[in-house]
Each structure stands twice: as C-alpha cells, then as structure tokens.
Amino acid sequence: QDPTAAHYMFQDDPFLMPRNAANSRLFALSKESGRNAAKYIIKQFPQYFDKTFAEPNVSCLMPEALTPQIEGVSEEALKERIHLRRVKDSVDLFDQLVQAGTPVSLETTNSLLDLLCFYGDGESTPEKNEEEKEDLKEPKVNASEQKAPTRPFQRGSQSSSPRWRENNNAERIFKIMPERNAHSYCTMIRGMVKHGASAKAYDMYIDLLNERHKADVHTFNALITAVPYLKERFLERWELAKVFLNHMAQQGVQPNLLTFNALLKMLRRCGGLGRSMSLLVIKEMEALDIEPSLATYDHLLFIFYRGVDLCPSGIISEVLDDVEKRTFTPQDPDDGMDFYIADNCCDLKDITLAYRLNKAIEKGDNWKFLDVDRLNAYWSKFFSLLCMMEQIDVVLKWYKEMSPSLFYPTPKNILDLLQALDAANHLEVIPSVWEDMKQLGFNRRQDLLEELLSLMSREQHPEEIQLAFAKCAEDIKAVHEQTGREQALLEWTGSALGHVVLLFSRAGRTQDAWYVNMMERFQQINRIPTEQVMHEFLNCAKQTNCPDEAIKLVKLAASFGLPSSQRLKSRMEKEFELSEKQK
Amino acid sequence: PPSPQTRAARVRVGKGDKPVTYEKAHAPHYIAHRKGWLSLHTGNLAGELSAAERAVEDAFLRRFLYGTFPGILADEVVLKRRANLLVVCAVLARGLAPAKLYFLVGYAETLLSHFYKCPVRLELQTVPTKVVYKYL
C-alpha cells in the first residue's frame, strides 16, 4: 500500500489530493453530490438514456422505470403500485377499490399494510436527499437485504422517522379489513415499534394474543426493542423482556441472532442489572448455536465498559479472541459499531490489544465495517495510544506510514506526537512536524503553537537545529501578524512572544528579535518579558556586537520598572564598551 | 489553390505572440512520429466493427467535456478504451476549487456511464496554466 497516496476515490493529483480530514470529507461528499445530480438528470429525462444498444443489456445503467404501467382500478394495479413503493397512490387505489366494492385479497392487503408500516405513512423517497456517506456502506446494506426478509433500508440511517400519527392510513385500513391474520397483526406491531408508538404496539400484541394468533420472530424482536420505551425501571424492563421470551417459547418461535442483539441493546439501558444478565444471554446464544455478530460484542462492551465505575474484566480479551478467529459478515444493522471495540481498547491503554485489533481489521472483509469518518477516528485513537505507549522510532514509523494516506491527524494527535518526541528527546524532528501542521491547517491553533514554541525554546540546541527552529518561529510570527480578510487576528500571548524572542536570539538574529520585541507589542498585550528572555537577548546582542540594541533593551526594562533592570544595566556596563553618550 | 491537405490541423505562423500547445503546434503528418493519438480503440483493426460509432462517441465526449469544464480544459482530451471501460484523461487548469472539480467529475462519470452503458472513468491532471510549447 502506498503510504503517500490518498484514498483511491480521489484523483491522483497534488492539487486535487485532500490534505486534512475536513478536505477529504468535503471532496468525497462533493463527488457524491455530483453523482446525485447526474442521477437526477437521468430520472428527469429518461427518454435520452433508454436506448438499449449494449449486448447484453446492462440493467443498472438504464433509467429506472418508476411509473406504474397498469392503469385503471384493479387489484393488479394495486399490486404494482405497492411493488413500486408508491405509498400515496396505493392507498388511494385501495380506497377506490373498497368503495367500488371489489374485494381485495388478503395477501394484497397484507402487502399494503407492510408498505404502510415500513414507511410510516410518509412517502418513500424523501424530497431532500440526506447526505450519503460513501459507498462503503453499500455492501453492508446489500447483505442485510439478504438476511432480513422485509424491505431493505432505503438509505441506511433512519434518524428522522416520522411519528406514528393517530388513525393514520395503516390503522384505518387495518380496522376496515374484514379478516385479519397473524401477518397483519405482526406488520402493524412492527410498524408501530419502528415509528415510536410502543404503547400501541403492546396493545396490538395483546389483541393478537386474544385472537389466538402466533407472532413470528421479527415481531418479537420488535417488541423487545420497544421494551425500554414501555417501562422505566430496570427490573421491570427485564421482567417484561422475560415475559416476551416466555411467550416466544410457548408459541414455538425460534429466537435468532437479532433477538439476542435486541435483548442486549435493551440491556444497555439497564445499568448494573445489564451486566449480570448479559452473560446469561450470551450463554443462551451459545447453547442455541447462534454465532454472535459484531453488534453483539459491541453491546457487551458497552454494557461492561461504559458504566461509571469501570471495573476491568477480562471480557475484552475474550471478545478479541473471538473477533480474531472469524471473519464477519454484516448481519445486523448495528454492525457498524466495530469502532466501540477500538474505543475501549484505547481507553484501557493496552497496546497489545490494539495491535491484535488492527490485524483483525485487515483480515478478510472486516474493513467494510468502518466507513471513512469512523476510520479516521479509529486511527486517531490508535495513534494516540501508540504515542503514549511505544518507543519513538515505532511511533515515527507509524506516523510516516499512516498519514496522509490512512488517516489525517487530529490536533490531539499532533500534541501527543510532540509530547512523545519530547519524552524521547528527539526535538530535531519538530520542524518537519511544523510543516505537517501547516499542511493540515493547524497553524492557527493556539494550544499547538504554545506547545511547539515552548518545546523549541526550552534548552539550547546545536547550531543547525537552532536555525531550523528560528525559521519555524518566523513562520509562527507571520501567522500571528497576518491580517487576513476573513481570519481573526491571533493574539500574541506573553509566553509565545517570549519564546519567539528566545529562539531568534539564540540563532543570532538580533534584528528580528528586536523587531519582535518592540515596545508597543509588549505593551499591547500588557505582558512583561521574562528575565531569561532579556538575558538571552543580551547574549545575542553581545555576539553580534550591537550595543544599540542592548541599550534599547535596558531602556525597555527600566520603563517596565523591573527589578532585573539593575542587573541588566550592570551587566551591560561590564560586557560592552560603551561610549559616554551611550552611558 | 490551397488544397485541404495543406491546411488541415495546422496553426499558421503569425507574429510570435500566439501561445500554442504541443498538440496544436504539430501538423497531422507528425502523428506517430512526434504526436500520439488522441483516441485509442480497436475499431480500426482488421476484422473489427463499429469504428464509426467510436468516432461519433469521441466527438460527443469532447464536446460534452468542453462544456462541463468550462474554460479550464488545458489540452485536448485523450480517450482510451480498454475492453468495456472508457478512460477519459483530461488535463485541467487550476481554475476551480477542488471540491467543485470533484462535483463535476462525479457528475460526468455517472452521466456518461448511463449514456453509453459502459463504465466511464475520469482521470484528471491539473496544471497551473496551459502548457505552452511555442509562440507562433
């Protein structure tokens, strides 16, 4: 893998390569919005795109035929509209059919109910397209399409699902249905749970039991997910969940993976009770021979590690053992939370675990679980952990390899890197880190600049490093003074100014140091230069033989009324040969 | 009277202030000697069909790209066909922000794929200004 190249979705050109995380996200999103614009054009003018001259015909590149073909009021027309997911049209057609008196068969009504409950009475294609993250989500969505027999998620995220209104179409149709079978009840329950009407779902479930129907496994899953909304206290929630499970056993319904995941998800919100119960759940799962998916592990870790009192348990290493042994296929819509494992590893400050997790991610298909944002966050955490725990050579090696191709360092990462360099006494790498910082766009962050400057100016260094440091200081000074149109002026702080002066003096650049040291500047920010700064400046002035500068400095010190001005004056007289006037 | 063969695809010598790219500066008899081809496909080999369709597609693609990237195409577009894939190699000047360029890239790729029913890939290179070979 090429460590200097960006992700393959970007063009391979220095102007078009993203340099930091914000840019990479921007470019990815703009490319995606370009694609959406093209799809919009194709949908608007399908007549220009529908000539089939390719042999064999490539169906995915043809415009989609979304208009229903069959006109007229009949059951086939209704079926077609349901198939095309046109909610409003199908409801209207259904009403027309009922008024006209033609009986609509039970399956058709059931599929209409399915459609309505899935979309919660809103339309199927929202008017504004929400942001689509990148195509890494596609394989996940397609795989879950095969697993779950219901209609697949349209866009993957359901953040703003409309609320279930009172007496909306689904309920209305349900009520006027002459006969209902188990499927109808199940669909209604699942729809209600999905759109937030948990209490009604529970009532409907009671109705279902009264009518002596059997619910299927998906209904039970939905009911279990609704439990946290029905009851408040932990114990009651667990009891209710157990009631559902008992019913399931009574009706002979086999629980599947999603059942257990729903249970664990509910247990997440059950606090301490969750910890004890979740282990029981896992044992059940193993007894039934269902393989846990990533979501299972995620819920487990959440239960155990997000509590207020982090009691370390060996559970994370067990989880990691399992994760390493198998490759995962996406089975649960929550599977994208692989990140939590990473998060927990890094919180626990265990580097071996992190390495194992890294290997596990590279194996097989597991990389598909982390989309670009999560990837960035994961690598950023990994890098912080590295900086804390590992030797500086390893850290530098990883840093060279990982940025900018795999991830873009966050400000925290750069701080960690600087601290690691400090701990290992490798401060000569700092100028190159400063270059990276400029590229990443961090050169206006106050905290990073402070850290950098203080590290650079703490001790004396050999000559060429000092020169390099002075150059960095000059850059930083330019950043402070730049009055860009949109950017707010960065305020000098006393310590930053002092450090810059120090660096300049050590490198022998007296003019620059004095220019920086201009009285107005210090007075502007109402700070006093430290004694060390003054002494360094005197040293520098002595080396370069500029007594004028030294005099100016003494005058400055005197004007501030510093106690050290006396010392400075005496030093001046000793070390310099001054003419009478200067005295 | 000057025959078309002596006037085709040549930039006439002028005062010396007209910047001309390498592509334009060379006359067509330099193809395969100093120039390459702008469009590569197998339609002209012995026993292959539909060379004319390729030519029509080329013409359309050039106009389409000339319009989608208004004013920033620095040189002629090179089209390469590999099996079913159409690779469009374009050299652009840095006139637009990278985000806008990516928008146009995504748009052009999808639209052309749907239009020609084959995957289309756009590979860009940016240059600061048009690369001048000589002034004629």
A38 and B118 within 8 Å at the Cβ level: the answer is: no
Q: What is the model's pLDDT at position A400?
A: 76
Q: Among residues A488, A391, A474, which one has the least CA distance to residue A434? A: A474
Looking at residue A366, the DSSP 8-state letter turns out to be G
Q: Is residue A532 part of a domain?
A: yes
Partners of A18 on chain B (C-beta within 8 Å) are 98
The dihedral sign for the CA sequence A387, A390, A392, A394:
negative
The dihedral sign for the CA sequence A153, A154, A156, A162:
negative
A15 and B94 within 8 Å at the Cβ level: the answer is: yes
CATH of the domain at B63: 3.30.300.20
Distance from CA of A312 to the nearest CA of B (A): 46
CA distance A566 to B37: 81
Backbone angles phi, psi at B82, to 5 degrees: -120, 110
Q: Is residue A534 part of a domain?
A: yes
Distance from CA of A513 to the nearest CA of B (A): 37
- Tell me the pLDDT tens digit for each residue of A451-502: 777 777 666 666 666 677 767 777 776 666 654 444 455 555 656 666 666 6
Q: How many domains does chain A have?
A: 1
Question: Would you say A267 and A302 are in contact if contact means Cβ atoms under 8 Å apart?
Answer: no
User: What are the beta bridge partners of residue B86?
Assistant: B81, B120
Locate A128 and state its tokens.
């504004």
Backbone angles phi, psi at B120, to 5 degrees: -120, 130
Locate A20 and state its tokens.
């930091």
Tell me the residue range of the domain where B70 lies.
36-128
Q: Can you give B53-106 as a three-state secondary structure string?
A: HHHHHHHHHHHHHHHHCCCCECCCCEEEEECCEEEEEEEEECCCCHHHHHHHHH
Partners of A63 on chain B (C-beta within 8 Å) are 114
Local confidence band at B82 (pLDDT 50, 70, 90 cut-offs):
very high
Q: Is residue B11 part of a domain?
A: no
Q: Among residues A94, A11, A195, which one has the least CA distance to residue B122? A: A11
Partners of A34 on chain B (C-beta within 8 Å) are 102-110
pTM: 0.74
Q: Is residue B103 part of a domain?
A: yes
B117 and A58 within 8 Å at the Cβ level: the answer is: yes
Partners of A41 on chain B (C-beta within 8 Å) are 111
List, for chain A, all residue ranges whose pLDDT scores fall below the cut of 50: 124-161, 307-312, 330-331, 333-336, 364, 483-487, 519-520, 580-583
CATH of the domain at A483: 1.25.40
Question: Would you say A316 and A344 are in contact if contact means Cβ atoms under 8 Å apart?
Answer: yes
- Tell me the pLDDT tens digit for each residue of B48-67: 988 999 999 999 999 999 99
Q: Does B50 touch chain A (CB under 8 A)?
A: no
A35 and B106 within 8 Å at the Cβ level: the answer is: yes
CA distance A550 to A112: 90
Distance from CA of B105 to the nearest CA of A (A): 7
Q: Is residue A219 part of a domain?
A: no
CA distance A579 to A214: 108
Q: Is residue B87 part of a domain?
A: yes
Distance from CA of B50 to the nearest CA of A (A): 12
Distance from CA of A13 to the nearest CA of B (A): 6
Q: Compute how many other C-beta atoms are within 10 angstroms of the C-beta atom of residue A83.
A: 12
CA distance A465 to A487: 31
CA distance A536 to A508: 10
Q: Does B56 touch chain A (CB under 8 A)?
A: no
- Sheet with B39-40: strands ordered across: B39-40, B78-82, B85-93, B120-127
Angle at A448 between CA A446 and CA A450, to 5 degrees: 70
- Give the H or E element holding residue A96: helix A87-100
Q: Among residues A295, A369, A298, which one has the least CA distance to residue A133? A: A369
Partners of A16 on chain B (C-beta within 8 Å) are 98, 101-102, 124, 126
B85-93 and B78-82 beta bridge pairing: antiparallel
Long-range contacts, stretch B29-38, CB < 8 angstroms, 24+ apart: B38/B76, B38/B77, B38/B78, B38/B79
Q: What is the model's pLDDT at position A526?
A: 53
Q: Is residue A381 part of a domain?
A: no
Q: Does A5 touch chain B (CB under 8 A)?
A: no
Which of 60-99 (B) contact A at CB < 8 A? 94, 98-99
Of A13, A23, A42, the CB nearest to B114: A42
Whether the ω angle into residue A56 lies within 30 degrees of 0, i.e. cis, is: yes
Which of 44-63 (A) contact B at CB < 8 A? 48-49, 52-54, 57-58, 61-63
CA A95 to chain centre: 45
B117 and A15 within 8 Å at the Cβ level: the answer is: no
CA distance A40 to B106: 13
Q: Is residue B67 part of a domain?
A: yes
A·B CB contacts under 8 A: 82
Q: What percentage of chain B carries pLDDT values higher than 70? A: 100
Distance from CA of B72 to the nearest CA of A (A): 14
Locate A560 and state its tokens.
């501030």
Q: Is residue A143 part of a domain?
A: no
Q: Does A242 touch chain B (CB under 8 A)?
A: no
Of B94, B99, B123, the CB nearest to A11: B123
Q: Among residues A540, A400, A436, A412, which one has the least CA distance to residue A20? A: A436
Q: Among residues A29, A21, A61, which one has the least CA distance to residue A42? A: A61
Distance from CA of A558 to the nearest CA of B (A): 53
Q: Does A22 touch chain B (CB under 8 A)?
A: no
Q: Is residue B47 part of a domain?
A: yes
Instruction: Give Cβ neighbours of residue A299 (< 8 Å, ≥ 6 apart).
Output: A261, A264, A265, A267, A268, A278
- Give the H or E element holding residue A22: helix A21-44
Q: Kindly report the length of chain B.
A: 136
Of A30, A34, A54, the CB nearest to B117: A54
A49 and B104 within 8 Å at the Cβ level: the answer is: no
3-class secondary structure, A438: helix
B110 and A35 within 8 Å at the Cβ level: the answer is: yes
B117 and A61 within 8 Å at the Cβ level: the answer is: yes
CA distance A223 to A243: 11
Partners of A58 on chain B (C-beta within 8 Å) are 117-118
Tell me the residue range of the domain where A525 lies.
430-583
Q: How many domains does chain B have?
A: 1
Q: Is residue A43 part of a domain?
A: no
Q: Among residues A260, A279, A341, A277, which one has the least CA distance to residue A306? A: A341
Q: Is residue A9 part of a domain?
A: no
Q: What is the model's pLDDT at position A496?
A: 64
Q: Does B38 touch chain A (CB under 8 A)?
A: no
Of A13, A23, A31, the CB nearest to B125: A13
Instruction: Give Cβ neighbours of residue A571 (< 8 Å, ≥ 6 apart).
Output: A538
Q: Among residues A444, A431, A521, A523, which one has the least CA distance to residue A482? A: A444
Q: Does B42 touch chain A (CB under 8 A)?
A: no
Burial of residue A81 (CB within 10 Å: 0-12, 13-18, 19+) is buried
Q: Is residue A79 part of a domain?
A: no
Q: Compute how many other C-beta atoms are within 10 angstroms of the C-beta atom of residue A121.
A: 19
Q: Does A525 touch chain B (CB under 8 A)?
A: no
Whether the ω angle into residue A228 lies within 30 degrees of 0, i.e. cis, is: no
Q: What ranges in A253-403 are assigned the alpha helix state H? A: 257-268, 272-287, 294-305, 315-325, 338-348, 351-362, 372-389, 392-402
Partners of B72 on chain A (C-beta within 8 Å) are none
Q: Does A65 touch chain B (CB under 8 A)?
A: no
Q: Does A537 touch chain B (CB under 8 A)?
A: no
Locate A263 and state its tokens.
């249970």
CA distance B74 to A567: 67
Question: Would you say A275 and A264 are in contact if contact means Cβ atoms under 8 Å apart?
Answer: no
| CB-facing half-sphere around the CA of A207: CA atoms within 13 A | 16
Q: Among residues A485, A483, A481, A486, which one has the least CA distance to residue A497? A: A481
**Residue of chain B whose Cα is closest to the Cα of A55:** B117
